[in-house]
Amino acid sequence: MSRIVMKFGGTSVADLDRIRNVARRVKREVEAGHEVAVVVSAMAGVTNQLVKWCQDLSPLHDAREYDTVVATGEQVTIGLLAIALQAEGVDARSWQGWQVPIRTDGAHGKARVEAIEGAELIRRMRMGQVPVVAGFQGIGPDNRVTTLGRGGSDLSAVALAAAVRADRCDIYTDVDGVYTTDPRIVPRARKLERISYEEMLELASVGAKVLQTRSVELAMKQRVRVQVLSSFEERPGTLVVDEDEIVEQPVVSGIAYSRDDAKVTLRRVPDRPGVAAAVFGALARANVNVDMIVQNIGADGLTDMTFTVGKADLARAQDVLEKAREEVGFEALLADPEVAKISVVGIGMRSHAGVANTMFRALAEKGINIQVISTSEIKVSVLVGAEYTELAVRALHTAYGLDAPA
Amino acid sequence: MSRIVMKFGGTSVADLDRIRNVARRVKREVEAGHEVAVVVSAMAGVTNQLVKWCQDLSPLHDAREYDTVVATGEQVTIGLLAIALQAEGVDARSWQGWQVPIRTDGAHGKARVEAIEGAELIRRMRMGQVPVVAGFQGIGPDNRVTTLGRGGSDLSAVALAAAVRADRCDIYTDVDGVYTTDPRIVPRARKLERISYEEMLELASVGAKVLQTRSVELAMKQRVRVQVLSSFEERPGTLVVDEDEIVEQPVVSGIAYSRDDAKVTLRRVPDRPGVAAAVFGALARANVNVDMIVQNIGADGLTDMTFTVGKADLARAQDVLEKAREEVGFEALLADPEVAKISVVGIGMRSHAGVANTMFRALAEKGINIQVISTSEIKVSVLVGAEYTELAVRALHTAYGLDAPA
């Protein structure tokens, strides 16, 4: 007997048939003897409609009223799922954020969960009742409804799993697990049975859109075992767990890519103290996030400086830098949005040398030029021309031995 | 300076344009120096969709979950209207039932308001803030959301007006007031400037669908002055007030009609004690409401007994009576759904004789046969053949001098 939190996203509850399907899934776990709580999102499309209404009425709307409006999406789903569960003979009741309560800070529209009172839910789960909890919402210090920001239902599920001391948090979604890379690019990508929190975090932040980053951080902090699996198919998914639970740690677990970045190069910048601070200080004040940074060794007291920013921030970054041109003293600003960031991720890197070298060699063999390199303890990322994305991902997937047997 | 509760129904907030229109209406009252609170319904059509989802999932759904689902309709409107008001420069905030709180009993789906805490709302209204309160909903003793039953937003508005000691409760709707009769039948019907609670109750219960009956009862009990007016036109509506506020009381204020009843006649019933109890006891046990009752003077120890029941209950009434045939001992049961109930209503009747006689004479002049008569202190109702409905209403409207000048 385990205690499980099951979370279903918007596509899994998009209509009444799918809600009935979710009810049957939950029933199976209950009948297997588990204690179950469920977290649900709004029916697909509903939140977008509600957000649009708020924006149409006023682009600068009160975030507290926005939260009042958009939180209704999840409220509808919990009531409907509770009805569907009861129709299946399962004892169930709905819980809005303020009823649990799920206490958050007062940052309406992007609140952080501060505390969840789990005792009453545990008591009811022990009696065989299934709590159906609204994801994405909580109650703030002002006694008003808050929401956690887009994708916040994953976060609700993980936080609830921690609060009720669940053995596992199952995130049902429209993919059936975490893959070694995007199967649309590499048909021989393999589904991972297990992956560590750290690796999942790196994969999530570099483009794999399976789990919301904040929910993985929270799962890692609270040591909640998370399973990602499909709500439409009947097979085990991927377990996201502490690395101690992964017996055989591969050197590289996955290859991720992102085309959301743009490259900026400042040519012939004076090579003296304070220049980097002038550049990145100006960008930070304009709320432009900078990711990869390289600076060549200079000659004649001048150097080149290259870094990446989010594509959406590129115009703003250019504007900020042109205004700082005199202070910084660069000769030319080159911007290139046609780049892709390719990352290899694996906790095994910590104990294995030569991982980066394998990457560079594999890319060189395909004639792919590496524009920028950055590394972390468990990740090596390179920036390449956007047109090489698929070629690079496939080459690396093969080079690290990740291809499924043919 | 007055304190006003303004209530807007589903058609008045059916889309964003209409919500903006409501915001401008509210703004005008605020700018006129009044303290204003607003009560709103769900956007037209929304509640029906939510109800249908619950019914499709399970015809016998949990009323507590039904309430969780359908209460979202009003929650969306309060948030959107608060945003629209702020966009107009009006300080406003939304209030869900549990936030006020509006406390109800635990009869989910048809709860009764027990108490509304008005102090905080009054404090904010005094500061110039407009509370935008969700109609139709409250919070039950189980800390769960309750709803008041269809049309419950009128009730919410009147109860709120009592709680904040408002000078007036303005009910904005798609008609512009209470008329002497249905203007679709009598083009020369006049809008009443004022009408007493008692008259409004009689008119509401006999077919005028302007205000929900329970809200008029509550207004009368709490002495809340109610105004019915159009949300689409700019003119005063009808005030529903204590009769002391009506200086010149007409003998008859209005003519109402209803085609929702059916006539039942039991022929040749034994004229002895206990027979009426046997008939109406059996109907009451089957939850059939009986309205008008007449019993002729008998001959040969036998009599005829005629009464009306709701058309929807007719089949059930016939079934119940056939089963009680032996006990009651009637010879034949005649059922006639083709009847209309025509009522003349007016508090002036109390002090004027001959009101019923005017009615009978006017109907006789048109050759309309009266099948059943019943009277109350301020009302005379007759049952006639359904095909005479319009003719009877027009004849009475003229006979009592209610026609507007041509």
Query: What is the per-residue pLDDT across B250-276, written as a single tens digit (0 to 9) for each?
Result: 889 999 999 999 999 999 999 888 888
> Could you give the angle at the alpha carbon of A163 between the alpha carbons of A157 and A168, nearest 5°?
55
pLDDT of residue A202: 87
Question: How does DSSP assign B101-146, residue by residue?
Answer: TEEE-S-TTS--EEEE--HHHHHHHHTT-EEEEETTEEE-TTSSEE
Residue A79: which of B65, B80, B82 has the nearest Cβ? B65
pLDDT at B246 over 90: no
> Is residue A16 within 8 angstroms of chain B, CB to CB?
yes
pLDDT of residue B274: 85
Minimum distance, in Å, between the CA of residue A124 and any CA atom of chain B: 15
B179 C-beta neighbours (distance < 10 Å), count: 21
Question: pLDDT tens-digit profile of A68-80?
Answer: 999 999 999 999 9
> Is residue B14 within 8 angstroms of chain A, CB to CB?
no
> Is residue B99 within 8 angstroms of chain A, CB to CB?
yes
Q: Specify the CATH class of B3-174 in words.
A: alpha beta
Edge-to-edge strand ranges of the sheet holding B332-336: B290-295, B302-310, B261-270, B332-336
Q: What is the mean pLDDT of residues B302-317?
A: 93
* Structure tokens, B66: 């039904």
Are B65 and A82 in contact (CB < 8 Å)?
yes
> Is residue B98 within 8 angstroms of chain A, CB to CB?
yes
pLDDT at A205 over 70: no
Minimum distance, in Å, between the CA of residue A148 and any CA atom of chain B: 17
pLDDT at B208 over 70: no
Residue B58: which of A58, A66, A86 has the nearest Cβ? A86
Minimum distance, in Å, between the CA of residue A198 and any CA atom of chain B: 39
Question: Residue A194 and residue A243: Cα distance in Å, rounded?
Answer: 9
Where are the domains positioned within chain A?
Answer: 3-173
pLDDT of residue A196: 94
A190 C-beta neighbours (distance < 10 Å), count: 17
Chain B partners within 8 Å of A57 (Cβ): 16, 19-20, 80, 83-84, 87
Question: Residue B374 and residue B382: Cα distance in Å, rounded?
Answer: 6
**Cα separation values, B4 from A199, B130, B191, Å:** 60, 10, 22
Question: pLDDT tens-digit profile of A334-358?
Answer: 999 999 999 999 988 888 888 999 9
Question: Residue B364 and residue A23: Cα distance in Å, rounded?
Answer: 65
* Chain A interface test: which of B76, B85, B86, B145 (most A C-beta within 10 Å): B76
Question: Residue A173 and residue B133: Cα distance in Å, rounded?
Answer: 37
Minimum distance, in Å, between the CA of residue A143 and any CA atom of chain B: 8
Q: What is the mean pLDDT of residues B149-161?
A: 92
Q: Specify the CATH class of B244-406 in words.
A: alpha beta
CA neighbor of B13 nearest in space, from A51, A57, A71, A42: A57
pLDDT at B229 over 60: yes
pLDDT at B207 over 60: no
Q: How many residues does chain B have?
A: 406
Pick the CATH number of A3-173 from 3.40.1160.10, 1.10.760.10, 3.30.2020.30, 3.20.20.70: 3.40.1160.10
pLDDT of residue A273: 83
Question: Residue A372 and residue B16: Cα distance in Å, rounded?
Answer: 49
CB of B163 closer than 8 Å to CB of B125:
no
Share of chain A above pLDDT 70, in %: 99
Are A69 and B56 in contact (CB < 8 Å)?
no
ipTM above 0.90, yes or no: no
> Is residue B32 within 8 angstroms of chain A, CB to CB?
no
Minimum distance, in Å, between the CA of residue A71 and any CA atom of chain B: 9
Residues facing residue B238 across a β-bridge: B228
Q: What is the mean pLDDT of residues A309-329?
A: 93
CB of B50 closer than 8 Å to CB of B20:
no
A–B: how many Cβ contacts below 8 A?
112
Chain B partners within 8 Å of A99 (Cβ): 143-144
Question: Residue A150 and residue A246: Cα distance in Å, rounded?
Answer: 31
Q: What is the mean pLDDT of residues B302-325?
A: 93
Residues 117-176 of chain A whose Cβ lies under 8 A from any Cβ of chain B? 143-145
CB of B228 closer than 8 Å to CB of B167:
no
Q: What is the mean pLDDT of residues A27-47?
A: 97
pLDDT of residue B331: 92
* Structure tokens, B292: 């008008």
Residue A82: which of B62, B71, B82 has the nearest Cβ? B62
Q: What is the mean pLDDT of residues A263-284?
A: 90
Reported confidence tier of residue B210, pLDDT bands at 50, 70, 90: confident
Question: How does DSSP assign B318-374, residue by residue?
Answer: HHHHHHTHHHH--SEEEEE--EEEEEEE-GGGGG-S-HHHHHHHHHHHTTPPP-EEE
Question: pLDDT tens-digit profile of A230-264?
Answer: 988 888 999 999 998 887 778 899 999 999 999 99
pLDDT at B205 over 70: no
> Is residue A66 within 8 angstroms of chain B, CB to CB?
yes
3-state secondary structure A59-99: CCCCHHHHHHHHCHHHHHHHHHHHHHHHHCCCCEEEECCCC
pLDDT of residue A174: 82
pLDDT of residue B359: 94
Minimum distance, in Å, between the CA of residue A2 and any CA atom of chain B: 27
Question: pLDDT tens-digit profile of A287-314?
Answer: 899 989 988 777 788 889 999 999 999 9
Could you tell me what percentage of chain A is helix, strand and coil, using 3-state DSSP and rounding each to the nearest 5? 40, 25, 35
Minimum distance, in Å, between the CA of residue B80 and any CA atom of chain A: 6
Question: pLDDT tens-digit profile of A110-139?
Answer: 999 999 999 999 999 999 999 999 999 999
pLDDT at B74 over 80: yes
Are B94 and A19 in contact (CB < 8 Å)?
no
